[in-house]
Structures are given as structure tokens and as C-alpha cells.
Structure 1
Amino acid sequence: MASQLETTAKALNRQLEGLDLAGRLALVAGLDGKAVFTTSLGIEDQVITAEIGLNRLSIEVSTLDTGRLFKETSDLIGETEERFGIEIIRFHPSQNDIDDFAARFGMNGFYESVEARHACCGARKLKPLAKALEGASIWITGLRRGQSGNRADTPFAEFDAERNLIKVNPLADWDLEAIRAHVADNAVPVNPLHVRGYPSIGCEPCTRAIKPGEPERAGRWWWENDEKRECGLHVPETAIPSLNSSSL
């Protein structure tokens, strides 16, 4: 089954390359199986959500409501639903997982070690993501090659062996200027934090505005030294030792 999905993903990657965003999403929506788009409400994801809503595509839109989002992000969920006439399904962490993390590391223990930070992401993001993707055969994301060095080789479609599905990145070849132009041309609502120096927005305690000349994702988990820092959503959990050793 895995080899079949891998072959399908490679063929899909070639097909998507020659299409515009609307064509890419329409193609994915027409494939067999359940397609789920997980949005962080960032500017890239708002572009994808707009296309799904305006074209009434059969793609489920979900978000991970970690419990520590910026108020601006939470407010944007309702505004986006109303603007495009869609439902954004919220997936929350379990209270038991949050309590377990706090007992082990302290509520804000993620500042103290990489292990603790990954454990927090595991409880607040990875477990809810697993729920969001239950029954899905296609996972759509807003990943772009220009977001960070760690994402420079992002394909349009790939086989996600860990989740046994096809992951589609329809904005892989878009740069930030193209994203901003599309938003302006189509009156897409965006997070007001973007104009305050936050190109990438995650949980409030873990996100700061970037400084002039810094990469787009420099404001995420800025206290860590690893330039390829990620939360685990888009890298295999097996590549993150602290997640493997965590009980969360």
C-alpha cells in the first residue's frame, strides 16, 4: 500500500506543477478519499482557505486550537468562516495532556529545554493533528519553499509515511510577494499581526516579531539555537528524539 501511495504522490507532484492554485486545489478535491486542509490562519493558509471557500471545493478545513493562540488568530477564525461561508473545525488538546505536561515541566517549561518544547508541541499540536487527519487520505498544507531552509525542497505532493497519506503543498513555489499580492487582489482577510512584523504566527508565548533581514520563521521558538527548529507537524517524529522519549 505504501509503495502505491508513493507512486501516486510522485505522479500527482508532476501534475500539480503545471497548474495554478485554483487548478491544483480543484484537482486534489476531485481525487478519491477525504481531503483535509489544516490551517494556522497565517497569510498562506488564508489564501488556500479563500480558494476552497469561494470555489466550494469538497475539502475539509480544520485548525489546531492549541489554547495558547494570539487573540488576533482566534478572532480571525470566525471572520474567515463568515467571509467564505465555510466551517473551520477546531481541534483542541486534551486537558489530561496539558495537565501532564504542566506537572512534568511547568506550564511554561518549554522555554527551559528543547525536550520540554517538543513535549508541549506534541500535546498541543501533534495529538490534535492526528485527530484532524483521522480518515483522511490527503493532507493539504500551506508550506512554501521560501519559508525556511528546512522547507527549501518542499514538493507539491509527497507521501507521508508516518501518517500513511499523501501530503499536498499547493503553494510550494509561491513567494511572500505573490502571497501578499493575491491577498490584496482578492480582499482576503489576514491576521493583523502580519503588519506588525510577524510573518509566521504560532502560539503566543512561542512567537515574536522578526527583525529586519531575519528569515520568515526566525520569530518561532527564537530562544533555541537550531536553525531548523520545527514543532514536528512537518518532520517525522522519529527525527525528534525528545518527542520519542516523551510520554505525551
Structure 2
Amino acid sequence: TRMTFLLVGQLSQPVLHVDWSDLDTFKGLFLIRASLATQGRSLTLYEQVHCLKTKEKPETHRVFMNNLKSMRPEACKPIIVTDAGFKTPWFKLIERLGWDYVGRCRSNTHCLKSGTDTWLPIKRLYGLATSNAKNLGKYLLAKSVGHSTRLVVYWRKAKGRKDKTVSGDRERKSSQSRSCAEREKEPWLLATSLTQAARNAKQVTTIYGTRMQIKESFRDLKSGLNMNHSGTRNQKRFKVLLL
């Protein structure tokens, strides 16, 4: 708690990444982590280990974020950055905390443009993406929730990566690898609570672009620290290993 206070204490609106990662090859234990965006790898502020039963549950997220909130100065109002695995209820949670968010929208979510009456799949908005970040204005997200948010769309230039496995095979075997490859081909459609006056569209995409830092830190955890080879399925044991 003291370290978190020191890291963010001088920042009025730090960018924090929150994400989940599996911890073992058995897909039985998972880590949720909050980290501070920096110039290199993100700096871990707080993390919890969970089993499949509590992974990605609303109550898990609520407790995690309330604990994180208790660790920072009252004047610190962070921007929380997440990928498409965090849905509309997550955005509502962040707003209840009095913070801001930038999160990616994908999958089967529907949206409604402010001032219209027709719900559309969010993928319909992909066609508006260009290499210049574009502010799309206010939308309602998810028919069942109707959460009001600002949307920004951006077509990021491809990095030229080939659809290959680590061993060099052209064809990817796993559905997860296929899904990741498909995701990287899609434009960024970002939901944010930040107003146009606070951050323009380009600044919003720059904030989201820092999210790769937490992915790199997860790779360090699994490969550099050999967490994938720990051999344990015990949740308490994993908590000790992460210290």
C-alpha cells in the first residue's frame, strides 16, 4: 500500500492498466493485476490470484478496485485502461469510483448513436476508421445496459507480423492464437469517459496504446520468472511465489 501511494502520489491522473492472465498451464489459476504506465514495462501496483470460479466476476472486480482505491491519495483520479475482455459493467464500476476509463470494444456488442433509434453491431463502425484517430461522439453501449459513453475509432498500421507459430509454422493451430491474430487486424474502437475537451481522439488512442506494457510484464512473469513451470496448482502457494 505504501509503495502504491509513493508511485502515484504525485500524479493527479496516472494511467493504470488492469488485466487478467492465466498463471499455470492447467488454466486453473489466474492473476488480475493493476499496473502504472511508464516509459518501459508497467510497474505493478496491486494484484490478486483467483481460481476459475472467481475469475472475471463482477464481485471480484468490485473488491479488487475498491482495494486499489484505498491505496492511492484521494486527489489521485486515474485513467483505467483495459482490453475488450472488460465489458460495459466494468465501465460503470470505474465511473462509480469517480475515475475515468479507456477500453476497447469488440465482439457482439451493439451500440446506439445519440439522437438516433437504431441499434447497430459495433463492427459497423469499423468502416469509419482511418490512420487518423476519429472522435465518433456519444453512443449507448449494450442494449441490456444502455451505458452512455464516447467512442473513438482508429486504424493502426499493421506491424507486418506473419501468421506463424513460435516454431515457424505458417498455420496457427490454437483457436486462441487465431483469435489474437484476428484482433490485431481490426481497428481500435475505444470507449472512454474522457471528454473531448479533456483528451482529443489522438490522445485517447495514445493512452490505450500503452496497454502493451502490462502484456509485456505478464510475459516476463511467465517466461523470465518461469511461472509456467512452477508445477503448483495451489492458490496460496502462487501468492507466495508472486511476492
- Given the two structures, how large is their TM-score scaled by the length of structure 2? 0.31
**If each structure's strand is expressed as a fraction of its own residues, which one has the higher value?**
2
Larger relative contact order (Cα-Cα within 8 Å, sequence gap ≥ 6): 1
**If each structure's helix is expressed as a fraction of its own residues, which one has the higher value?**
1
Q: Which one has the largest radius of gyration? A: 2
